[in-house]
A and B are shown apart, each in its own frame.
Chain A
Amino acid sequence: MKERHEEALSSRLEDTYEQLKQLLGSSTDLVSKELLLGDNTHISLFYIDGLVDTGLLHNSILYSLQGSRVPDMLAGLSPDATVELLRLRILMAGDLTVIHKTGQFVHDLMSGSVMLVVDGTANALRIGLPGWEDRSVSEPSSQSVVRGPMEGFTENLRTNTALLRRKIKDSHLWLETIQIGRVTQTSVSLMYLSNIANDELVQEVKRRLNTIDTDSILESGYIEEFIQDTAKTPFPTIYNSDRPDTIAAGILEGKVAILIDGTPFVLLAPTIFVAFFQSAEDYYQRADISTLLRFIRFLAFFLTLLAPAFYVAITTYHQEMIPTNLVISLAAQRETVPFPAFIEALLMELTYEILREAGVRIPKNIGQAISIVGTLVIGQAAVAAGFVSAAMVIVVSITAISSFVIPEAGMSIAARIIRFALIGLAGFIGLYGILCGVFVIVLHLASLRSFGIPYMSPLGPYRPEDMKDTIFRFPWPHLRTRPAENLTKNFYRQGTARRRENK
């Protein structure tokens, strides 16, 4: 496959036709238009219908090619000179390049360019006229905020880079694009601030991207799994978001954004554990409420992780830990339950996961059915029938609700997976088992790295200067430095003018 990229274009128009026919088969969306300019200048336009802006093609390219003065200008010129003249003087188009290679030719053709081939030369003109149906910029769906920008990334790479450029108007915001995927030829762009991001980090990201050898990249999840430090973890080690403001903030902290054509989800590397508990809104609201909300998110994370396991452990092993009145009430609820608490918890958690999955997959217009079946049948009827205890339903509901508090889905997914293991441990040896499980989780978290940066930083390697924006969120004037763990080239993000004034 690689060799084909090196093959030069043919200088004969018929051969080019033949080559294209070989490469593309008889794809019906390949449009070729032959033109005769003057007496003997045969040119052909090739494009893929649907990928180019045909209105512009007609009004600008064809219009300028078929102007009345064109034949005179082209008279007597060699085919190479014709191409030069077309490029420099005749065509009314902005994005024009000359290409020689077949591989490049086909790639550009497939990316929404109009290819202009002149008979007699191996140089083809590429006219960038992409124009296809796109979703417009709309509200991001995965991480919504009350206060903050309401625009989200789209599937179009160019729109996405533009959204970031509009937020960071700095010459140091560099954009590099490579094609990944032997078949899909997906454009993958890196965006970073060249004067802030650590050079080695940028090199490492590029190195990892370049080692990817696969035939398709359809979503950023592919890239994430290829370049993450280890796959042996339920925790996400690369951040993703469809919010331009979140990604821009990451870039400003010295991280590298990886934009993939065809998906609104942009990757951000490196990332740390606490980043998954930070919402974009934290930085737009007042600092005090942001800090409180972060505490609540951590609490919710622990609830998601531990609530069912804890319930199983104390009701089957540590009854003396529960206040007397509560234990009697719990015992009363469990009177008719035919299963051990462990099985009960497992059943209810599984039921919830099934309900949740059904809720996601079900077509929107019959989504009502899920909530009716879920709440009425599982919730009420099961309790009324005495199959499950009301307390267990409460615990499972709290767990479910808590899992939605974590702003980034990847982290709540991790908690959902680990939860089952912890329930098992709790049913097996009680709180002792939970303790062992939590030990293993903490050890595992401490061993993780994201692009060389300790995952638990700034808690793991303790960095007091970074605590200002991890669990707490200090007011903006106090957030003078970028996170130290990113090893940025430019540590201070705020001037010292105010301090001098005070002196």
Chain B
Amino acid sequence: MMMRQLRRALCSLLPLVLLPMLLSGCWERRELNELAFVLALGIDKAESGFKITMQVVIPSAISSQNGGAAGGGVPVASYSFTAPTIYESLRQFNMTVSRSAYMGHIRVLVIGESLAREGVSPMLDVLKRSREPRMDFYVMVAKGGTAEEALNVLSALDRLPANKLYNALDKSYKVSARTVAVTLDRFIEDLLYQGKNPVLTGVEVKGDPDAGGEKRNTERTNPKTKLRYESVAVFRKDKMLGWLSAEEVAGYNYITDNVIKNTGHVDGDEDGLVVIEALKSKTRRKVKFIEGEPHIYLDIEALCNVEEVTGRDQLDEDKIILDLERKAEKRIVMRMKQSVEQINDRFNVDIFGFGQSIFEANPKAWTRLLEQSGGDYLKSLPVHYKATVIINRIGAIDNSFIDQIKE
């Protein structure tokens, strides 16, 4: 009887245990209209510390309720602060702006070229340490300029410049293989891997950087100031070395199995060209040890379509198609080979991750290789290329109608 009373008393007291939960209040509660969403972060070198640029979206300017796309001012605001650390710049942000900066929706991180050449690692820590930013935004280098300039340029099609940068990189990398889409996560991984060095796509401001930040820039059919992806920056660990050519990027993407779609042309009949688009491409990388020495084997399989013919090629003949396939294979091999040779020649840095592959295949061989050649193993590393191209479709017509045009 006593026990039951006791138990009942305890049970009635139990809810009190829950009450302390209320003491936390609505901790961490942030209304959407109290936040400034930082969509893009730019970091440049400053005389002392860094110059940090934050591109913040102005929600009311893109609201459909208040006039929509036609009305309103510019959709974003850029704030630049010179501070020794990124965190300090966030504090400065709060002294300027009525809302607190929210880093959870950063889409792009732009690094000024001069800072990239000096080394970027000091400012990466906060992005990884803070729990707000997600690691899936793209990192890029402002080619020949500053990140601040790049983040100032407005574009007409995408109202938010950060979205434009993100989507354009995403598309260009999937469609053309002329850029590399590197997220912050991957960038840091590449920094940390043995035998691998990172690359980042460069973005360049074409035209007057100052005019790009005005709303007038978006009101022309051909904006005076544009952002354009241009080349790819090569890093030795966190220091940038230089820029790759478009061909080298294509080769790089083939080697690292990053080609989703790529277009190239081979010589056709007479002076004509035949444009071939790779639709599915798969690169297999193998490391073989021959007499104790590592050899890299690259084997590419590409499924292609013929997209454009400027000559008189008789595409209805099997022989011609087979011939085109051989030419395309040669071209891919040539791209890769040139890419490896030129990059070795100019930078002597392993951005392909050959070292990483060797390490993964045989860690001891990797240590031995490092001991033998220091970091200078690339030039002596034999790489073997093989490409298999299959032309799947030749389009809606077979032979070009050029022959049928009567004079």
Contact = CB atoms under 8 A, between A and B. Distances in A.
B64 interface: yes
Contacts of B27: 429
B32 A331 contact: yes
Contact of A324 (B26, B29, B32, B39): B39
B26 A328 contact: no
A330 B134 CA distance: 19
A420 interface: no
A341 B102 CA distance: 18
B28 interface: yes
Interface string A318-349: 01100011011111111111001110000000
Interface in A305-329: 315-317, 319-320, 324-325, 327-329
A298 interface: no
A335 B60 contact: yes
B32 A327 contact: yes
Interface in B38-90: 39, 57, 59-60, 62-66
A46 interface: no
A323 to B, nearest CB: 9
A414 interface: no
A11 B228 CA distance: 113
A317 B107 CA distance: 20
A330 B32 contact: yes
A428 B25 CA distance: 7
A331 B33 contact: yes
Interface in A426-452: 427-430
A331 B29 CA distance: 15
B220 interface: no
Interface residues of A, number: 29
B62 A317 contact: no
Contacts of A427: 26, 29
A398 interface: no
Interface in A40-88: none
Q: How many B residues are at the interface, by size bracket?
A: 20 to 34
A334 B29 contact: no
A390 interface: yes
B363 interface: no
Interface string A400-430: 0000000000000000000000000001111
Given A327-B105, A333-B63, A429-B24, A340 B31 contact: yes
Given A324-B39, A428-B26, A341 B65 contact: no
Contacts of A325: 163
Given A319-B102, A325-B163, A332 B60 contact: yes
Nearest to B31: A340
Nearest to B107: A324
A328 B33 contact: no
A387 to B, nearest CB: 12
B62 A334 contact: no
Nearest to B36: A331
A324 B105 CA distance: 6
B397 to A, nearest CB: 40
B65 A332 contact: yes
Interface string B100-138: 001011010000000000000000000000001010000
B28 A317 contact: yes
Query: Which of A316, A330, A332 is most buried by chain B, counting CB atoms within 10 A of its CB?
Result: A332
B35 interface: yes
B389 interface: no
B39 to A, nearest CB: 7
A85 B363 CA distance: 115
B31 A328 contact: no
A332 B104 contact: no
A316 to B, nearest CB: 5
Nearest to A335: B60
Given A317-B29, A331-B59, A332-B60, A390 B104 contact: no
B165 interface: no
Given A320-B104, A320-B132, A337 B26 contact: no
B234 interface: no
B30 interface: yes
A319 B30 contact: yes
Interface string A458-487: 000000000000000000000000000000
A335 B62 contact: no
Contact of A328 (B28, B62, B104): B62
A317 B31 CA distance: 8
Contacts of A333: 63, 65
Given A324-B39, A331-B37, A428-B26, A316 B62 contact: no
A334 B31 contact: yes
A319 B65 contact: no
B52 to A, nearest CB: 20
A430 B160 CA distance: 29
Contacts of A329: 62
A384 B24 CA distance: 35
Contacts of A332: 59-60, 62-65
A149 to B, nearest CB: 49
B168 to A, nearest CB: 15
A342 B25 CA distance: 14
A178 B280 CA distance: 78
A275 B268 CA distance: 71
A325 B57 CA distance: 11
Nearest to A312: B29
A330 B26 CA distance: 21
Contacts of A328: 37, 57, 59, 62, 105, 160
Contacts of B66: 335
A336 B29 CA distance: 18
A328 B55 CA distance: 13
B65 A316 contact: no
B337 to A, nearest CB: 40
A336 B22 CA distance: 29
A327 B60 contact: no
Nearest to B27: A429
Contacts of B57: 328, 331
Contacts of B28: 317, 430
Contacts of B132: 320
Contact of B29 (A316, A330, A335, A384): A316
B173 to A, nearest CB: 18
A441 to B, nearest CB: 16
Contacts of A331: 32-33, 35, 37, 57, 59
A437 to B, nearest CB: 13
B37 A327 contact: yes
A341 B163 contact: no
Contacts of A315: 31-32
Contacts of B29: 316-317, 340, 427, 430
A433 to B, nearest CB: 9
A341 B31 contact: yes
Nearest to B137: A324
A320 B135 CA distance: 12
Contact of B59 (A320, A335, A386, A428): A335
27 contacts: A316-B26, A316-B29, A316-B32, A319-B30, A319-B35, A324-B105, A327-B32, A327-B37, A328-B62, A328-B160, A331-B32, A331-B33, A331-B37, A332-B59, A332-B64, A332-B65, A334-B33, A335-B59, A335-B60, A340-B29, A341-B32, A342-B26, A384-B65, A390-B65, A429-B21, A429-B26, A429-B27
Given A315-B31, A324-B105, A328-B62, 9 more contacts: A316-B31, A320-B105, A324-B163, A328-B57, A330-B32, A331-B59, A341-B31, A384-B65, A390-B65
5 A-B pairs with the lowest CB-CB distances in the bound complex, closest first: A320-B104, A332-B63, A332-B59, A331-B59, A331-B32
Interface of A: 315-317, 319-320, 324-325, 327-337, 340-342, 383-384, 386, 390, 427-430
